Amino acid sequence: MKTKFLKRALCTTLACATVAGLGVGLTACQPSDSETVRIVVGVQQTTGNNYNSMCNLLDALKDELNFEYTTTLVDRNADAALSTYQNQLLGGAQGIITMVDVDAATTRKIIEDCEANNAYYAGYMTDFANTFANTDSAQAENVEYILNSDAMLGAVTDGDIVRDGGTRGEFLFDAVVKTDARVVTLCRAPLYAYPVAATAIDRFKELVEEYNAANEDDFTIVESVGAADDGALEVGFSMQNVPDATVQDWKAKGVEAVIAVNSLGKKILTNVQTSAPEIGIYQIGWDDNIISAFPQYIKTLCQTPAETIIYPLIRVLNAVRGNSYADEPADVEDTLISGQYIYITSEEELEKARTSCMNFAEGNPVSASLISVEEIKSLLAGEEGASFKKLVDTISSWTSENVLK
């Protein structure tokens, strides 16, 4: 009798322990919404309005959405980036949001590490799609691996690339065609870093040809000394400023406007400002150092709202908590979405942007955010009406037209 009771007690205890163990195990595998999610954001710099806006927004969200985050510096050194992310994963990071898209082989290694640590990888203002499309054949296997990994959650690009740079070329043409400047020269960032620059330059040249065919005040595109095959001067990362000799050459050739694609404003500004102030700089990008030169020398400004951080953030939070949308894309490629540039060509537009978008507002307060904390919360999987489409549509709605109205 006693033995039977003991056996029963033992069996019951074992069963309870098994159930409890399974429960604990499952809970450990599947963090609940009440568990704080650890996220690391790999940034290229820890200053500037974009960084400040992003941090202010994340600070405002972290208690509401129950996550904690740290920023870590990552640059084009893929070897160092790999070490940095490895260390962060060992430190308990459950999600990596990267602002630097390193080559496919390194991305694969990072993703393998994420998989080993039950963590996830997403991009913010990164163009994975172009990076993966513009690799040598040896990288094909790596790209395939990345696009088939559950740890890869997608990315939102910096600017309205939509996987080509046509819109950038159109914006620059629209800005310069309104002026009297008709002698222009082309500059661009290195293509391995910004493949879209090639499409932007091509589109600009196309529009010039169309314009010249229909109008009498023809555009003349002046080629700089040392220009690449596409006729644009490649301004590398190592070049602190475009040399004065180049600016003098532009001046001698009667250049009236420099068309620069991708974050080259600062590199071109100094010597143009001092040696050839009559030359206007039409550029894609934004830097705190060039705002004072707008609109006298720098004629155009562009920046993606820092609020787009919510895309990778929500993707990471959903994945870590095991939540997904009903319309969750089956293909990783569909999670590589395009952000939106806010294009600014006048002081009035800049003033409007300062009141409606965090990046542009003085002190980058969350009160100037394009989206409220409650709205962001409602985009999380599991919330009523939340869907992947809604999340993407929210990001897509932040166009110049909507932001500057």
Partner 1 sequence: MSNENSQNKKFDLKELPGKAMHKIKTFNWKEWAKDNIFTLVAMGGFVLLLIVFSFLPQVMRGPNVTFWRAAVLQRYIEQVTVYLILALGACFVYLMGSMDISVGYQVAVFATIFIAIVNAIGTAGAIPLALIVIVVLGLVCAVFNAFVGAYVKLPTVMSSVILMQLFSGLTTYLYGDSGYSARAIVVSLNILNETWVRVIVLVALIAIAYYLTNYTVVGKRAKAIGSNKLAAQQAGADLLKTRVLCYGIFALFLCVASVFAIARKDSFGEADSVSYQMDIMIMLLMGGMPLSGGYKGRVLNTVVGTLTYVVLNLGLSLCGVSAEYVFFVRALIFVIIVCLTCRKPGLLLPR
Residues within the interface to partner 1 (CB under 8 A): 43, 46, 70-73, 75-80, 82-84, 86-88, 90-92, 102-106, 109, 116, 134-136, 138-139, 142, 190-193, 236, 238
Query: Closest distance between partner 1 and the C-beta of residue 3, in Å?
Result: 41
Residue 262 contacts residue 233 (beta carbons within 8 Å):
no
CB of 199 to partner 1, least distance (A): 14
> Shortest Cβ distance from residue 149 to partner 1 (Å)?
16
Residue (96 or 207) nearer to partner 1, CB: 96
Between 79 and 180, name the residue whose CB sits nearer to partner 1: 79
Burial class (CB in 10 A: 0-12, 13-18, 19+), 319: buried
Tell me the closest approach of the beta carbon of residue 5 to partner 1, in angstroms.
Answer: 39
CA neighbours within 13 Å on the CB side: how many for 193?
Answer: 16
Q: How far is the CB of 130 from partner 1 (least distance, A)?
A: 12
Closest CA to 374 of 52, 55, 61: 61
Residues 281, 269 contacting (CB under 8 angstroms): yes
Contact 117, 89 (CB under 8 A): yes
24-41 CB burial, b ≥16 within 10 A, e <16: eeeeeeebeeeeebbbbb
Is 43 or 153 the residue whose CB approaches partner 1 more closely? 43
Q: Give ∠ CA 156-366-319 in degrees, rounded to 5.
A: 40
How near is the Cβ of 76 to partner 1 at its closest, in Å? 4
**Could you give the C-alpha distances from 289 to 49, 59, 285, in angstroms and in order?**
11, 26, 11
> Amino acid identity, residue 224?
S
Q: Outline where DSSP puts E strands in 219-300.
A: 220-222, 233-234, 257-261, 280-283
Kindly state the smallest distance separating residue 319's Cβ from partner 1, in Å. Answer: 19
Nearer to partner 1, 197 or 317 (CB): 197
Which CB, 88 or 283, lies closer to partner 1? 88
| Residue recorded with tokens 């992310």 | 85
Residue number, 121 or 171, with CB nearest to partner 1? 121
Please say which residue, 195 or 312, places its beta carbon nearer to partner 1.
Answer: 195
